[in-house]
Structure 1
Amino acid sequence: MRDVQALPTTFNVRPQKEPKNLDGRRAMDVALSALALVFLAPLMIAVAIAIKLQDGGPVFFGHTRVGFLGQSFKCWKFRSMVTDAEARLAAVLATDPEARREWDADHKLRKDPRITILGRFLRASSLDELPQLFNILVGEMSLVGPRPIVAAEISKYGRWFPRYTAVKPGLTGLWQVSGRNDVTYRERVALDILYVRRSNFRLYLFILLMTVPAVLTRSGSY
């Protein structure tokens, strides 16, 4: 993929409706996410109780992400970090040059001091992502799509950012089934744009099927 050109950290687009049903994908999103919530309800309740017992903090974490047509939305997860996560991150980045470089490159830390013991399990098993099924039900996300990003990551997409916002972000996608955190950020951008350009129902189903072994083997998760 060619080098991306920097864009401002905000991008305003004119709101418009998403193409109707996207070859049945919206119907699949609603049906599968609703079924998943029903069958996974006992597990989700158990996770919520475990998080609450851990430190008494909030069960859910809602983070503002960039969605369809650049519109922001709250992306929900089970909380996997300590309650003072932002302060801990700031302290690490201010005192550890290597961590600062890693964060600037990938917006992630392999040895993230903010993540709790329970949180490491939730992330490795992808259970922390389950509340995003509610985002899918209300139409903010799709089961399959580019990974939802924060505003600080927009510049990493450069001139490809408008393409990125042409579809809804997904619970899973090409990035997640291609190595996840073992993939560089530049490769992730390329995979996101590749999905947008080739997006169709067959690719949607293929990624859903490939997500199962990716989650079971915990490929690239940390």
Structure 2
Amino acid sequence: MLLAGFALSTWLYLGSPTDDTVWGSAQLALPLYWTVALLNRTYSVQSLIAPEFGVQRASSALLLASLLVLLALFLARSSLNLSRFGYGLGCFAALFLMIWARYNLEPLVRSWVGARAINLLVIDDGGPPVDLTKCHRVDARALGLPPQLDDPHGLDRLAKLIGPMDRVIVTCPPERRRLWAMVLKGGHMRGEIVDTEVIDLGILGTSRSEGVGTLVVAAGPLGLRSRLLKRGFDLAITLPLLLVLAGPMLLVALAIRLEDGGPALFRQRRVGRNNRFFDIYKFRTMKVAQTDQAGARSASRDDDRVTRIGHWLRRTSIDELPQLLNVVKGEMSLVGPRPHALASQAGDKLFWEVDDRYWQRHALKPGMSGLAQVRGFRGETREESDLSQRLQADLEYQAGWTLWRDVVIILRTLQVVVHERAY
């Protein structure tokens, strides 16, 4: 496709498919493209089964190869009479043909290699059921193949079975795992043994250090670089915002004091990052005698505990502005899972009694807004499903954090500051 693209463009532009002003650079680009493509996984198994991945890798390989050609010609001070427009047109045509070929060959490739593009064998030796499609399956007991390390002939039969495979999964009772592990280690393929605790414990991987083997069940959703990036982003927005809003916030505080003489700020203990407690700041919106420090009762529409100015503050979400101080202190972030009070309930259950995954949402700092809130999951939690929807969104946010996603959530938050469920 690369050579065809250059030949086609040269023929259209210069009248000859092998004009020297372009064709020489095309011949130089080909080995450079191959080199880059082999290094960046353009010709990988994933490229076979995911055309979008293959197109992205092929495009980046072609771009880099094209730039390397220009750099090589410049450094060598080549006397080659290069047609810059013809060369650019050739690169564009080659890219177009590569993308066209990969997308159009995808159905044919799938018919040849299947959905996985690897040979997968599942060996059933009496372990937990394995529900995988489009794979080879054998019953080790029916074929008389349970491994015996003192039986070379039996191991030879197993070797013939697993030899053509790229990946072998064995499901067996715990007492036979070591035997199967020894057999699989003698093969050249990827060998795996089913363990139900991988799912039950949410195991991410394994680790061996100083003679100690461990199961990795948590690695933190963000690395150091991402945490620094997120913190810097928070401060870059929060500090200027506090300067701008300082005057309006003082006026709101004064209005709250004038209404009933009580304190302007309300502090409540919430669960933050790493499941540690912190005190969240809000403008007080309820009558002093009826503030709910534990958060056992969610505010509802026409709640008799809410003051007159409190209704307006809640309706416009202005009561949340003091949390900018929590962000500056490092207890919260602009975007993250919303922090909950200890006694919060969904239906007649405490939040953590509804779903065991509840505590996982605290791997990140809580946020002033979050993915759940911009999706409309806010307000009362009358049913258990009200919490489940928010929890799912929070875990989705943790698993796919990017700075751009934070920007999008902040912009979408501005659209739902006034919300029908903001009471």
TM-score (norm 2): 0.42
1:27 matched to 2:232: yes
How many Å separate the matches in 1 of 2:234 and 2:278?
18
How many Å separate the matches in 1 of 2:283 and 2:361?
25
Q: Do the aligned partners of residues 58 and 196 (structure 1) sit closer, same or farther apart at CA in structure 2, a change above 3 Å counting?
A: same
Secondary structure of the residue aligned to 2:288 is: coil
Question: After superposition, what is the alpha-carbon deviation per residue over 1:142-176, rounded to whole angstroms, capped at 9, x for unaligned?
Answer: 00000101122442553212321100000011122
1:220 matched to 2:418: no
How many Å separate the matches in 2 of 1:191 and 1:198?
11
How many Å separate the matches in 1 of 2:362 and 2:238?
22
Contact 2:355 2:388 in 1 (8 A): no
How many residues get paired? 190
Larger RCO (CA within 8 A; separation ≥ 6): 1
1:137 matched to 2:334: no
Partner of 1:181: 379
Q: Do the aligned partners of residues 112 and 219 (structure 1) sit closer, same or farther apart at CA in structure 2, a change above 3 Å counting?
A: closer
Deviation larger for 170-179 or 191-200: 191-200
For the aligned residues, what is the CA RMSD?
2.5
Q: Do the aligned partners of residues 157 and 136 (structure 1) sit closer, same or farther apart at CA in structure 2, a change above 3 Å counting?
A: farther
1:196 matched to 2:373: no
Secondary structure of the residue aligned to 2:339 is: coil
How many Å separate the matches in 2 of 1:219 and 1:177?
13
Contact 2:358 2:391 in 1 (8 A): no
Query: 1:194 Cα deviation (Å)?
Result: 1.6
Partner of 2:310: 119
Partner of 2:283: 78
TM-score (norm 1): 0.78
1:61 matched to 2:266: yes
Letter in 2 for 1:210: R
Query: 1:181 Cα deviation (Å)?
Result: 2.5
How many Å separate the matches in 2 of 1:111 and 1:219?
12
Partner of 2:114: none
Partner of 2:366: 169
Query: 1:65 Cα deviation (Å)?
Result: 0.2
Please, which runs of 5 or more residues in structure 2 have no aligned partner?
A: 1-219, 345-350
Contact 1:163 1:196 in 2 (8 A): no
Partner of 1:210: 412
